[in-house]
Amino acid sequence: MNFFVTTSLKASEKLILRAARIAKELGILYVPRGSASLEDIERKYSSDGILVVSKERLVVYSKGETFFFHPNMAKMRIKALTLGKTDYMVSAMNLKPEMTVLDCTLGLGSDAIVASYVVGKHGFVTGLEINPLVAYVLREEMGKYENKSKALMKAVRGVRVLNADHNEYLKELPDNSVDIVYFDPIFKDPVYHSCGISSLRKLADYTPMRVETIREACRVARFRVVMKERTGSSEFKRLGFEEIVGGRRSRIAYGVINLKGER
């Protein structure tokens, strides 16, 4: 994959130095922006993604779309939880305070943030993201996130972000080392349309889930393996998910594999 780092237009010397440092850290090329458009840089370098460093935030540009971190959906779901409403992901996980969660497909980060809120300060959530640019943006932006809601801020900052392929990462983990292993593979056809999801789709990995990966997840998880998919998806049966959690009118559902030691 061809990834690059550049800056916003009319960048200061300080911003240019920061972009160059990020490029070195990621082991990819820094491209001076000058007066070039992102489209021009993308075309010239046959780019698969450009990390744009600006004063305001970090953005990933790809094929006319921009990805940046914002906890919109997580914020709404956490508010709903405080009002006593059901979150089907939380129900599918049977999630409780102090539990540990491995989110193997971090994406926008919303599910991991909600999980972080539920497990609290004595729990732990790790999110894996295979795209190095997306992982970098999430790690940096989530790590310094500020909000007047201390609960939301702690939930966002409580997610540990790693750039990793979950297929390989799971193989390195000991048996029964986390409570919940979670997957939210990118849907081939989006269920919901939003700016965040649209931009992420240009950067996502569309490799189908592997049966072997679910088997590894069952080895690693103490209590449950959970996967999000379209309601009625044949992927649930193919991958061994027999219990399905979700609203009758919802277009998404959660497959659950209960493991020995469920509490």
Confidence of residue 199 (pLDDT cuts 50, 70, 90): low
Chain Cα centroid distance, residue 185: 10
Average pLDDT across the chain, whole number: 91
On whether the pTM is more than 0.75, the answer is yes
Q: Tokens for 192?
A: 């919901």
Of the candidate ranges 94-108, 139-153, 177-191, the one whose mean pLDDT is the lowest: 177-191
Per-residue pLDDT at 59 exceeds 50: yes
Confidence of residue 189 (pLDDT cuts 50, 70, 90): low
The residue ranges of DSSP E strands in 74-140, in sequence order, are 100-103, 124-129
Of the candidate ranges 2-16, 117-131, 201-215, the one whose mean pLDDT is the lowest: 201-215
Of the candidate ranges 15-29, 80-94, 138-152, 244-258, the one whose mean pLDDT is the lowest: 244-258
CB 48 within 8 A of CB 3: yes
- pLDDT given at position 194: 47
Q: What is the distance between the alpha carbons of residues 149 and 166, in angstroms, rounded to a whole number?
A: 32
Instruction: Between 167 and 199, name the one with better pLDDT.
Output: 167
- pLDDT given at position 242: 86
Confidence of residue 186 (pLDDT cuts 50, 70, 90): confident
> What percentage of residues in the chain have a pLDDT greater than 70?
90
Long-range contact set of residues 107-110: C-beta below 8 Å, sequence gap at least 24:
107/134, 107/184, 107/186, 107/200, 107/204, 108/69, 108/73, 108/196, 108/197, 108/200, 109/69, 109/71, 109/74, 109/138, 109/142, 109/156, 109/159, 109/161, 110/71, 110/72, 110/73, 110/74, 110/77
Per-residue pLDDT at 193 exceeds 50: no
CB 62 within 8 A of CB 56: no
Looking at residue 172, what DSSP letter applies?
A: G
> What percentage of residues in the chain have a pLDDT greater than 90?
83
Query: Tokens 């919802």 map to which residue?
Result: 250
Can you tell me the mean pLDDT for 249-258? Answer: 92
Most confident of 161-170, 230-239, 241-250: 161-170
Per-residue pLDDT at 139 exceeds 80: yes
- pLDDT given at position 198: 55
